[in-house]
Amino acid sequence: MIEAREERFPLREVFTISRGSRTEATVVTATITRDGATGRGECVPYARYGETAESVLAQIASLPDDVDREALQSLLPAGAARNAVDCALWDWQAKAHGQGVADRLGLTLAPVTTAFTLSIDTPAKMRDAAARNAERPLLKTKLGGGPEDVERIAAVRAGAPAARIIVDANEGWSPDQYRDLAPRLIALGVEMVEQPFPAGEDAALAGLDRPLPVCADESCHDRASLAGLAGKYDMVNIKLDKTGGLTEALALNAAARAAGFRVMVGCMVGSSLAMAPAMLVAQGADLVDLDGPLLLAEDRDPPLGYHGAEVQPPRPQLWG
């Protein structure tokens, strides 16, 4: 039996990116019960990809109750709905057979260091936010393409002088803005920018000198995306809500590395249940951004263990 429901988790504070602000995380939780065992998976419907909680619930409701992971890959497209069910099937398998997902895959899970995300605000408020998190080794700063972007990063650098910094433009820059901003951000210690140009409008990257490495986010969903990224991006951001689950995320990770891309493992704003399967892909990743639960006022019970910037592997009671 497959069940799915919408759940909401309030955030600690307003979270703002170039597309808008939010005060809660809306997720869909899939639960699969068979032969006395129950598995769970979580996804975050994302409006940027035309998803809503209602559309995701309808996709999950269309599946046969006996669907397996292999059939699922063709029954639903890459996206949030398939992610929730795929991860629930992995969890169900682990609990039904008494063997953890990592063991089934021959993986040894170790803690990973995650970035912590600062949302867009005034430079003064972003400096304060950076100062509150100055002990974290890696800060990810949301930017919007406006004239204050350099001031924002200068403020973050002032607030957290020892932290490494990466930035996420969320499709908000133009090629001219990249040329202007890249050397100024590099001077402030920025190491990488995510998705500076809109997906589908990033051809200019192929002929652009990229002193500030560029990571594909909205332009990279699954393995089918990779051919179009060659020569334009230096890194890909793997998110299970884009790949449609752990099954494709693992395959994309291997294919991206074989194609010469560096790998970042990221997340939407969700609970520890959404982060847990991503921990398997995060092993050995060049960058990890699995800070979703740190932005929540409430989380799952039991949650993932966060010790400062270090994320612990999930306990079986949570997932896997």
Please, which pLDDT band fits residue 221 given cuts at 50, 70 and 90? Answer: very high
Active site residue 239: yes
What was the pLDDT predicted at 21? 74
What was the pLDDT predicted at 32? 98
What was the pLDDT predicted at 145? 76
Active site residue 142: yes
Give the model confidence (pLDDT) of 2-48 as tens digits.
999 999 999 998 776 656 677 899 999 999 999 999 999 999 999 99
In the structure encoding, which two tokens stand for residue 266, read together?
A: 């990221």
Q: Which of 81-90, 118-127, 201-210 has the highest mean pLDDT?
A: 81-90
What was the pLDDT predicted at 249? 98
Catalytic-role residue among 95, 140, 232, 239: 239
Give the model confidence (pLDDT) of 82-106 as tens digits.
999 999 999 999 999 999 999 999 9
Task: Please say if the pLDDT value at position 242 is more than 90.
Answer: yes
Catalytic-role residue among 95, 140, 142, 242: 142
What was the pLDDT predicted at 173? 93
CA distance 91 to 103: 12
